[in-house]
């Protein structure tokens, strides 16, 4: 098991996602003889996890049940321990698409943070790509490196603990794409350009403030980047529900043929005043989560 390859059966040492509810997920490392406590009771790894198929329903000691799911980058984003603010799937999906990532791509990333985006990148570039990720904070760099090893994707990633604005990514002329999530991305644009391959590549910068976007765009233009554009992704979830609508009564239809045996004195058939129809519809949310950050994309021209 790892985050870029799928298996059917849970094994000792796997990391599984325990589904407690729609908004409640728990990552658990499976260990023979261990147990995990949930609000529905205890789960014993040896009997409830090891040897079972992913997706199985497990009954806890108090009678409640949970689902044991195969880890994916999307589930990891929803369940991971937050050491920093993280990127969520809404932005991640656009980033991986706009950076044109594919199996075999080489990517440079800074900063690593809690590794939410990193796992999505690794799945996209596997099995032959590589991620060079830079984290300024030493303890966070050590922790995310441990998680990559635990998730069995460490062969696809190199973690460096350094300041990308001063020391760069530690590589030159190898990257197909660069991602920046740092307070002053304009200071790292030169290093990003040096890390990209000579035949060009794509760059993305995530910034919460428009002032950061402005300075980054100026730096991108100064370094010769083209196709500079910024966008904002907002998620709008519609609620699907059943509604009942009354049928209008327009009176008799004069063009309708008369029924056999009907007399001229018989009153025409009309729709009952209580007639209605049920149908499915969607309604937009009354409140919608607002701004998370701006995504700035640019292309390095071929040299």
Tens digits of residue pLDDT in 198-247: 999 999 999 999 999 999 999 999 999 999 999 999 888 888 999 898 88
Tens digits of residue pLDDT in 26-48: 999 999 999 999 999 999 999 99
Tell me if 161 is assigned to some domain.
yes
Tens digits of residue pLDDT in 265-274: 555 555 555 6
Of 145, 198, 193, 187, the closest CA to residue 163 belongs to 187
Domain that holds residue 228: 76-234+290-300
Q: What angle do CA 246, 252, 254 make, to 5 degrees?
A: 140
The domain spanning residue 223 has which CATH number? 3.40.50.150
Q: Given this model, what pLDDT does residue 1 score?
A: 60
Lowest mean pLDDT among 54-63, 125-134, 236-245: 236-245
DSSP assigned state of 48: I
Q: Given this model, what pLDDT does residue 5 score?
A: 86
Q: Given this model, what pLDDT does residue 247 score?
A: 84
271 vs 186, residue with greater confidence: 186
**At which of 40, 71, 102 does a domain end?**
71
Annotated binding site for S-adenosyl-L-methionine: 114-117, 135, 163, 181
For residues 92 and 114, membership in a common domain is answered with yes
Of 176, 180, 145, 175, the closest CA to residue 165 belongs to 180
For residues 64 and 93, membership in a common domain is answered with no
DSSP assigned state of 156: G
Element (H, E) at 212: helix 210-222
For residues 210 and 114, membership in a common domain is answered with yes
Domain count, the chain: 2
Q: Given this model, what pLDDT does residue 261 score?
A: 62
pTM: 0.84
For residues 82 and 177, membership in a common domain is answered with yes
Q: Given this model, what pLDDT does residue 263 score?
A: 57
Average pLDDT for 93-109: 97
**At which of 25, 52, 71 does a domain end?**
71
For residues 128 and 170, membership in a common domain is answered with yes
- Concatenating the DSSP letter of every residue in 173-191 gives S-BSEEEE-SS-GGGGHHH
Of 165, 161, 188, the closest CA to residue 298 belongs to 188
Average pLDDT for 161-175: 97
Annotated binding site: 114-117, 135, 163, 181
Tell me if 274 is assigned to some domain.
no
Q: Given this model, what pLDDT does residue 272 score?
A: 59
Q: Given this model, what pLDDT does residue 236 score?
A: 83
């Amino acid at each position: 098991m790892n985050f870029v390859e799928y298996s059917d059966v849970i094994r000792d040492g796997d990391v599984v996602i325990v589904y407690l509810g729609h908004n409640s997920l728990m990552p658990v490392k499976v260990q023979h003889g261990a147990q995990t406590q949930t609000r529905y009771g205890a789960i014993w790894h040896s009997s409830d996890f090891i040897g079972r198929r992913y997706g199985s329903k497990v009954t806890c000691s108090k009678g409640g049940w949970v689902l044991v799911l195969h880890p994916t980058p999307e589930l990891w984003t929803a369940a991971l321990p937050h050491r920093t603010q993280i990127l969520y799937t809404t932005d991640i999906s656009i980033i991986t698409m706009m950076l044109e990532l594919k199996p075999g791509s080489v990517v440079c990333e800074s900063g690593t943070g809690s590794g939410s985006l990193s796992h999505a990148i690794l799945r996209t570039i596997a099995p032959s790509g590589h991620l060079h990720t830079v984290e300024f904070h030493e303890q966070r760099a050590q922790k995310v490196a441990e998680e990559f090893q635990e998730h069995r994707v460490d062969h696809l990633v190199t973690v460096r603990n350094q300041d990308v604005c001063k020391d760069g990514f530690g590589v030159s002329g190898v990257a197909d794409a660069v991602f920046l999530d740092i307070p002053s991305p304009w200071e790292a644009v030169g290093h990003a350009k040096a890390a990209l391959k000579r035949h060009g590549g794509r760059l993305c910068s995530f910034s919460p403030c428009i002032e950061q976007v402005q300075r980054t765009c100026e730096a991108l233009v100064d370094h010769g980047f083209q196709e500079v554009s910024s966008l904002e992704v907002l998620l709008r979830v519609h609620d699907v529900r059943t509604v009942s609508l009354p049928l209008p009564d327009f009176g008799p239809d004069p063009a309708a043929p008369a029924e056999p045996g009907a007399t001229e004195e018989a009153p025409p058939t009309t729709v009952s005043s209580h007639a209605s129809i049920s149908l499915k519809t969607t309604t937009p949310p009354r409140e919608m989560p607002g701004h998370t950050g701006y995504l700035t994309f640019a292309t390095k021209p071929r040299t």
